[in-house]
């Protein structure tokens, strides 16, 4: 059985705001019975102030789907619609003191229902671009569809690259066989791999994604590196960690991991995630390493 | 005071019978020897293993005790059987199985397909029964082995494995059955069948986890999975798990003694439980072939609600069972068994398996019959597919999500 937090259990056993809401003027339906998850979120919005006066839900789903729905209604009551749109699935998971990785999609469904309900109130069309596949990486809750999309978009060839781009496989490494299967499948589907191509056309090293028009000066490069680090800091700080730049030596970027990040079992994956962003921002292949790996001055 | 918990998940695993624990304990302490050793420490263990082998032989109705190979679990037995058949008959490249097998078979078969073998998975009908004509049409001289479960773990549905084995044997094809759920629950007499190999697992019949058996008919060509020492006559190397083997022997003897109780008293309690639930709750139905299933298993689909939520609420009142819902497994799809039978999605996610044992009592069954209806009502009240008056008139239309 899942390790649910006490908060999840409590919201499941005593869901808040369940059942139909007669005066609802914004309704969002997401999920489907095929997937085993379906959520209807009903909002009563004050047309003057756009404040959510009441929120109810009806959910077909597992314990965490019901708890996520309940949490969502509690979070958004009293918010304006614009404030509510800022609520992320992570906010829902945090409100419940976390969800198991296999169950994060329950919080995603909550956020989508919220977007759908607000769109419905505003008379807008809401379309979802989110497709979910089988869960591959349990450490970071990365599914097959996401890995496949990233592999295709970036022409990835190795498990290591997949980890840099998606984090998948950066934890316990048990899913590497699954990632290899996705890589093999995409490789087989790639155009140009058919009978007209000579064998082994695949480059040994991947192309750097979107190289910039001109080479960056060292100052520009450092500025970009700082920019990337700033962008990831809020995420790390939320987990009570932090990061700062230690040094740049050629293609090696050394960083200090601080607070909870230091010595965390996910350190390698955190660095992998930062490295992915660096590669995207700089348009070249770089390595992000902990400052402990810096060569000792002679 | 908290009520005593009720365990109705015996197809998942069983409690080790106290008599079994008592029988195995000395093999951790005074009888710790290695059966292969020449000295007295070893020979005591050797005798105990021989006894256990004959106890398993008796329950299975095997002709020879040397047909019993001890393994670590049902999964190992399954893998050994299928891989052996392919290795021993390199001119045969096809495996026939069914699409409701346990993952121990299906995952292996999926991998074999990737390795270039051909796998035919027999389909089942709405009640989980295979089509014998389809089966017959697939038996040809490239088939290395047929593997079909004796009884299904989710629904308890029994396959006609004896008849299937006859048909395979007539065409010179090996037949294996994963009988992990059947052994100890229904009578088995292998010497009067054409079954070549059979897998069983100790922890499904009140022996500990980590012990299994592969029955291998004398004369059936075999290639070991594990090579090394001479244990199990060289067919499964590795020092014998003597304490667990002794335990399994004892569990088999007890199962044989209780076979009649299983098929009368346990069956009666299961039928009472099922009838008690079905009579109180609308929009639910038993799955599988109810006229031909294990005496201890009842699998009920509750429409418009989700299985994990049911399990959590049952657990809260001290009732343990399991579900075929997607959410309990971490996958996105409900159980492959339910999908294979074409159970609609509105019901497949809400299937609950009650599996009893000889330890369950009338009083427990009465408590479960009383506990289930309010739980189902509570969850239906939360469901967007349900209204005060019952299911939404057209569930698909009543709830039309922005995406599916």
pLDDT in tens, B343-400: 998 899 999 999 999 999 999 999 999 999 999 999 999 999 888 778 876 665 666 5
Say yes or no: A28 contacts chain B, CB-CB below 8 A: yes
State the pLDDT at residue B211. 98
Chain A residue closest in CA terms to B404: A32
Residue-wise pLDDT for B206-259, tens only, equals 999 999 999 999 999 999 999 999 999 999 999 999 999 999 999 999 999 999
- Distance of alpha carbon B312 from alpha carbon A206, whole angstroms: 48
Residue A258 pLDDT more than 70? yes
Query: In this predicted structure, what is the pLDDT of residue A96?
Result: 96
At A196 the pLDDT is 40
Residues near B226 by beta carbon (within 8 Å), at least 6 away in sequence: B236, B237, B238
CA A253 to CA A246: how far, in whole Å?
8
Partners of residue A15 in chain B, C-beta under 8 Å:
382
Our CA-based measurement puts residue B303 at a distance from the nearest CA of chain A, in whole angstroms, of: 11
- Which tens digits make up the pLDDT trace of B167-207? 999 999 999 999 999 999 999 999 999 999 999 999 999 99
pLDDT of residue A204 exceeding 50, the answer is no
Give mean pLDDT, residues A248-256. Answer: 87
User: Using 50, 70 and 90 to split pLDDT, how confident is the model at A104?
Assistant: confident
B328 contacts A62? CB cut-off 8 A:
yes
- Per-residue pLDDT tens over the stretch B63-95: 999 999 999 999 999 999 999 999 999 999 999
State the average pLDDT for chain B: 94
Check B384 against A59: CB less than 8 A apart.
yes
Q: Would you say residue A194 has pLDDT above 70?
A: no
DSSP code of residue A101: G
Local confidence band at B301 (pLDDT 50, 70, 90 cut-offs): very high
Rounded to 5, what percent of chain B is helix, strand, coil? 45, 15, 40
Span A13-72, pLDDT tens digits: 999 999 999 999 999 998 877 667 889 999 999 999 999 999 999 999 989 999 999 999
pLDDT of residue A102: 76
Residue A202 pLDDT grade (very low, low, confident, very high; cuts 50, 70, 90):
very low
What is the model's pLDDT at position A10? Answer: 95
pLDDT of residue A128: 66
Buried b (16+ CB within 10 A) or exposed e, A30-66: bbbbbbbbbbbbbbbbeeeebbbebbbbbbbbbbbbb
Query: Percent of chain A scored above 70 by pLDDT?
Result: 86
Q: Is A26 helix (H, G, I), strand (E, B) or coil?
A: strand
Are the beta carbons of A134 and B332 separated by less than 8 Å? yes
Which chain A residues are Cβ-neighbours of B332 within 8 angstroms?
A: 35-36, 132-135
SS (H, E, C) A84-129: HHCCCHHHHHHHCCCCCHHHHHHHHHHHHHHHHHHHHHCCCCCCCC
In whole angstroms, what is the distance from residue B340 CA to residue A273 CA? Answer: 40
What is the pLDDT averaged over residues B140-151? 98
The predicted model gives B298-305 an average pLDDT of 95
Residues of A in contact with B331 (CB under 8 A): 134-135
B383 contacts on A by Cβ (under 8 Å): 58-60
Q: What is the mean pLDDT of chain A?
A: 84
Strand order in the sheet with B322-323: B284-286, B297-302, B351-355, B322-323
DSSP A235: H
Can you name the residues that pair with B323 across neighbouring β-strands? B352
User: Are A36 and B316 inside 8 Å of each other by CB?
Assistant: no
Calculate mean pLDDT across residues A276-296: 83
ipTM value:
0.82
What's the average model confidence in pLDDT over A104-111?
Answer: 86
Q: Which two structure tokens, joined as six digits, stand for B366?
A: 């009465």
Distance CA A275, CA A251 (A): 11
The per-residue pLDDT for A199 is: 39
B-interface mutation test, from A36, A63, A125, most B Cβ less than 10 A away: A36
Residue A198 has what pLDDT?
Answer: 40
Q: Which one is predicted more confidently, A97 or A251?
A: A97
| Cross-chain Cβ contact B381/A19 below 8 Å | yes
Q: How confident is the model at residue A297 (pLDDT cuts 50, 70, 90)?
A: low
Angstrom distance (rounded) from CA B335 to CA A1: 16
Q: DSSP secondary-structure letter at B186?
A: B
Q: Is the pLDDT of residue A207 over 50?
A: no
Say whether A188 sits in a helix, a strand or coil.
helix
Neighbours of B176 (CB within 10 A): 32
**Tokens 């059947």, residue located:** B182
Looking at the predicted structure, is the pLDDT value of residue A257 above 70? yes
The reported pLDDT for the residue numbered A68 is 95
Is residue B50 a contact partner of residue B58, using CB atoms and an 8 Å limit?
no
pLDDT at A105: 80
């Amino acid at each position: 059985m899942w390790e649910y937090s006490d908060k999840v259990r409590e919201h499941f056993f005593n869901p808040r705001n369940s059942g139909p809401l007669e005066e609802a003027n914004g309704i969002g339906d997401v999920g489907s019975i095929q997937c085993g998850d379906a959520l209807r979120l009903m909002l009563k919005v004050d047309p003057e102030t756009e404040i959510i006066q009441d929120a109810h839900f009806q959910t077909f789903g597992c314990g965490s789907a019901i708890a996520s729905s309940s949490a969502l209604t509690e979070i958004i009551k009293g918010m304006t619609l614009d404030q509510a749109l800022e609520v992320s699935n992570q906010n829902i998971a945090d409100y419940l003191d976390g969800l198991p990785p296999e169950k994060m999609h329950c919080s995603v469904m909550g956020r989508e229902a919220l977007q759908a309900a607000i769109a419905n109130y505003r008379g807008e069309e809401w379309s979802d671009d989110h497709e979910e596949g089988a869960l591959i990486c349990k450490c970071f809750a990365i599914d097959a569809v996401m890995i496949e999309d990233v592999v295709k978009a970036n022409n990835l060839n190795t498990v290591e690259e997949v980890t840099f781009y998606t984090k998948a496989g950066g934890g316990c490494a048990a899913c590497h066989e699954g990632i290899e299967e996705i890589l093999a499948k995409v490789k087989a589907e790639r155009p140009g791999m058919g009978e007209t191509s000579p064998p082994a056309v695949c480059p040994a090293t991947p192309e750097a994604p979107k190289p910039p028009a001109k080479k960056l000066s060292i100052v520009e490069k450092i500025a970009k590196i700082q920019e990337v680090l700033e962008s990831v800091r809020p995420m790390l700080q939320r987990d009570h960690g932090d990061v700062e730049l230690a040094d740049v030596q050629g293609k090696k970027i050394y960083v200090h991991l601080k607070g909870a990040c230091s010595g965390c079992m996910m350190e390698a994956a955190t660095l992998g995630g930062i490295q992915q962003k660096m590669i995207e921002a700089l348009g070249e292949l770089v390595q992000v390493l902990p400052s402990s790996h810096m060569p000792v001055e002679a | 005071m908290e009520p005593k918990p009720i365990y109705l998940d015996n197809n998942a695993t069983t409690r080790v019978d106290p008599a079994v624990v008592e029988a195995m304990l000395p093999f951790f302490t005074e009888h710790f020897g290695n059966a292969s050793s020449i000295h007295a420490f070893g020979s005591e263990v050797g005798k105990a293993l021989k006894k256990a082998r004959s106890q398993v032989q008796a329950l299975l109705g095997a002709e020879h005790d040397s047909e019993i190979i001890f393994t670590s679990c049902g999964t190992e037995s399954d893998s050994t059987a299928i891989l052996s058949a392919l290795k021993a008959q390199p001119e045969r490249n096809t495996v026939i199985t069914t699409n409701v097998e346990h993952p121990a078979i299906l995952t292996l078969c999926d991998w074999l397909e990737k390795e270039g073998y051909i796998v035919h998975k027999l389909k089942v009908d709405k009640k989980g029964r295979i089509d014998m004509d389809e089966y017959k049409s697939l038996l040809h001289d490239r088939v290395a082995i047929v593997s079909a479960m004796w009884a299904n773990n989710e629904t308890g549905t029994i396959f006609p494995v004896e008849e299937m084995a006859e048909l395979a044997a007539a065409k010179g094809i090996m037949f294996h059955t994963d009988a992990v759920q059947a052994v100890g629950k229904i009578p088995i007499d292998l010497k009067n069948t054409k079954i070549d190999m059979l897998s069983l697992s100790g922890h499904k019949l009140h022996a500990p986890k980590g012990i299994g058996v592969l029955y291998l008919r004398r004369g059936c060509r075999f290639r070991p999975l594990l090579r090394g020492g001479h244990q199990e006559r060289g067919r499964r190397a590795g020092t014998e798990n003597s304490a667990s083997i002794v335990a399994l022997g004892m569990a088999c003897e007890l199962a044989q003694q209780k076979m009649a109780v299983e098929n009368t008293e346990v069956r009666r309690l299961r039928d009472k439980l099922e009838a008690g639930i079905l009579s109180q709750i609308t929009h639910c139905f038993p799955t599988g072939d109810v006229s031909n299933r294990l005496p201890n298993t009842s699998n009920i689909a509750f429409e418009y609600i989700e299985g994990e939520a049911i399990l959590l609420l049952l657990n809260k009142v001290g009732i343990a069972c399991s579900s075929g819902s997607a959410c309990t497994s971490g996958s996105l799809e409900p159980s492959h068994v339910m999908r294979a039978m074409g159970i609609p999605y509105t019901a497949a996610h809400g299937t609950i398996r009650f599996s009893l044992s000889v330890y369950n009592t009338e009083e427990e069954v009465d408590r479960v019959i009383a506990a289930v209806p309010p739980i189902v009502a509570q969850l239906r009240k939360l469901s967007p597919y349900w209204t005060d008056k019952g299911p939404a008139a057209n569930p698909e239309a009543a709830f039309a999500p922005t995406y599916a």
